[in-house]
Chains A and B, each alone.
Chain A
């Protein structure tokens, strides 16, 4: 197969990442997905996994987006979209939401990033002077979740997003466990990044050329599971 980089459309990139993330959850896990790309992972999770999705605005048991035209506007997700809830769901206030999130009760969190580095630090909340959306629930989630997975495109305008040290203001220091891009999967080990899976469309050399961080290849380096 000699597909080139350019042959991946935005939707294909999203799908590769979302499919791989979905494989990462264990049965009955309590999971929080960030807005945007991470949310797509829910589309590839099998129902018999019985994953409980949490939403920082006060839902355990988050379901799919509501189909109109009659919306129940009292139930929204963290992006403000009207949603359904699943059997066994609960609603609660923001204090309880962060008891759950910061308190170590979330099994896995998936979120996007502007930069991630060799130490597992993540920058995602501002580009000073240019783009300052703010923190929201991200810092608490990253600090409190048992497992933190970053889901993002490998590069942005051909600039590496996986770097030696984040240059943008950190969202959290040393908390990321795993990085999933359309090209590969890295585990964050105590001594740095380990390349564990690679999309067969790319060579290790191509990964090295598009990654600004050092990494080692796992002895068990395998094809990316999607």
Chain B
């Protein structure tokens, strides 16, 4: 049985100056209430790993707008002009990866691999400073695994064993992030006693804490 806690209790676990993975694709499949609680506690100086920085007034974007993030490791900031403004003003560091590279770096960490070789980015500035490996005449960029102190993820339904299931397009980075952080907190729309094993997408062993989504 896993610890079921409130969004505020979850936010209290997350330390300032830490590296945190945040699940979601734009505003779909995001742990929004844990983010709101983090903002209320002003947990700051964060390095955030996320697919995108969403919109200025939404979920991940609010962490940026509230000046709680010093560095973002992401794939796209085009939907959030505030991230761009802060980047150009030197107030936030942004490290870009192709989406497929970012997810595989996280997966490599979670699955105990020493890194990833990807053809994506060959012939572009993404090669700069990277080790290039040639296999059977084709060039690949070597990318190291990427982990975090915390991962806050979304689930549609969680059971008391930590098993998680999803609906629609809410899976996105949530599944990979669950495997690659020291402490993993899932915010679920609903908690049930026990899911049918056939429905489980993230096995409960990856989850440390469960938050049921409630208005704060």
Give me the interface of A with B, judged by CB distance under 8 Å: 55-59, 72-76, 78, 80, 91-95, 97-98, 101-102, 121, 129, 132-140, 143-144, 169-174
Is B45 an interface residue, CB under 8 A from the partner?
A: no
State the Cβ distance, A149 to closest chain B Cβ, in Å: 19
The answer to whether residues A121 and B77 also contact, given A56-B99, A57-B169 and a CB cut-off of 8 A, is no
Given contacts A74-B168, A93-B174, contact A169 B99 (CB under 8 A): no
CA distance A136 to B168 in the complex (A): 20
> A137 to B100, Cβ gap below 8 A?
yes
Q: Which residues of A contact B195 (CB under 8 A)?
A: none
**Closest partner residue, chain A, to B173 (CB atom):** A94
Question: A76 to B103, Cβ gap below 8 A?
Answer: no
Stretch among B10-18, B24-32, B36-44 lining the A interface: B24-32
Per CB-CB distance, the 7 closest pairs between chain A and chain B, nearest first, are: A173-B123, A133-B78, A74-B168, A98-B100, A140-B100, A134-B76, A93-B171
CB-CB < 8 A to A137: which residues of B?
75, 98-100
On chain A, the residues within 8 Å of B175 by CB distance are: 93-95
Q: Is the CB of A94 within 8 A of B26?
A: no
Contact residues in B for A101 (Cβ distance below 8 Å): 100
Chain A residue, CB-CB nearest to B119: A143
Query: Which chain A residues border B98 with CB–CB below 8 Å?
Result: 135-140
B41 to chain A, nearest CB (A): 27
25 A-B contact pairs sorted by A residue (CB < 8 Å): A56-B99, A57-B25, A57-B28, A58-B169, A58-B171, A73-B28, A74-B169, A74-B170, A76-B26, A76-B28, A76-B169, A91-B166, A91-B169, A94-B171, A94-B173, A134-B75, A134-B76, A134-B94, A134-B96, A135-B99, A136-B76, A137-B75, A144-B120, A171-B124, A173-B123
Q: Which of A57, A73, A129, A133 contacts B172 (CB 8 A)?
A: A57
Per-residue contact bits, chain B 18-61, to A (CB 8 Å; 1 contact, 0 not): 00000001111100000000000000000000011000000000
Can you list, as one digit per residue, whether each of B114-147 has a CB less than 8 Å from chain A (1) or not (0)? 0000111111111000000000000000000000
Asked, given contacts A74-B168, A74-B169, A76-B28, whether A95 binds B74 with beta carbons under 8 Å apart, the answer is no
Contact among A55, A76, A138, A170 with B125 in the assembled complex (CB-CB below 8 Å): A170
Contact A133 B76 (CB under 8 A): yes
7 further A-B contacts with Cβ under 8 Å, apart from A134-B94, A170-B123, are A80-B79, A94-B51, A94-B173, A97-B100, A98-B100, A133-B76, A134-B76
- Take A80-B26, A134-B75, A170-B125 as given contacts and tell me if A139 and B169 are in contact as well, using a CB distance cutoff of 8 Å: no
* Contact between chains at B51 and A140 (CB < 8 Å): no
Whether B100 pairs with A93 at a CB distance below 8 angstroms is no
Determine whether the beta carbon of B26 is less than 8 Å from that of A74: no
Count residues of chain B with CB under 8 A from any CB of chain A: 48
Please state if A136 and B75 are interface contacts (CB–CB under 8 Å).
Answer: yes
Cβ–Cβ contact A91 & B168, under 8 A: yes
Interface residues of B (CB under 8 A from A): 25-29, 51-52, 74-79, 84, 87-88, 94, 96-101, 103-104, 107, 118-126, 156, 166-176, 201
Task: Name A73's closest neighbour in chain B (CB-CB).
Answer: B28
Provide the residues of chain B in CB contact with A138, threshold 8 Å: 98
Q: Report the nearest A residue to B176, measured CB to CB.
A: A95
In the complex, A173 Cα to B141 Cα: how many Å?
A: 14
Among A55, A92, A136, the residue within 8 A (CB) of B99 is: A136
In the complex, what distance in Å separates the CA atom of A94 from the CA atom of B178?
A: 13
Instruction: Check A132–B84 contact: CB distance below 8 A.
Output: yes
* A80: B residues at CB distance < 8 A: 25-28, 79
Contact in complex: A95, B107 (CB < 8 Å): yes
Min distance, Cβ A36 to any Cβ of chain B, angstroms:
11
* Residues in A neighbouring B79, C-beta threshold 8 A: 80
Do B120 and A139 touch across chains, with their CB atoms under 8 A apart?
yes
User: Smallest CB–CB gap between A72 and chain B, Å?
Assistant: 7
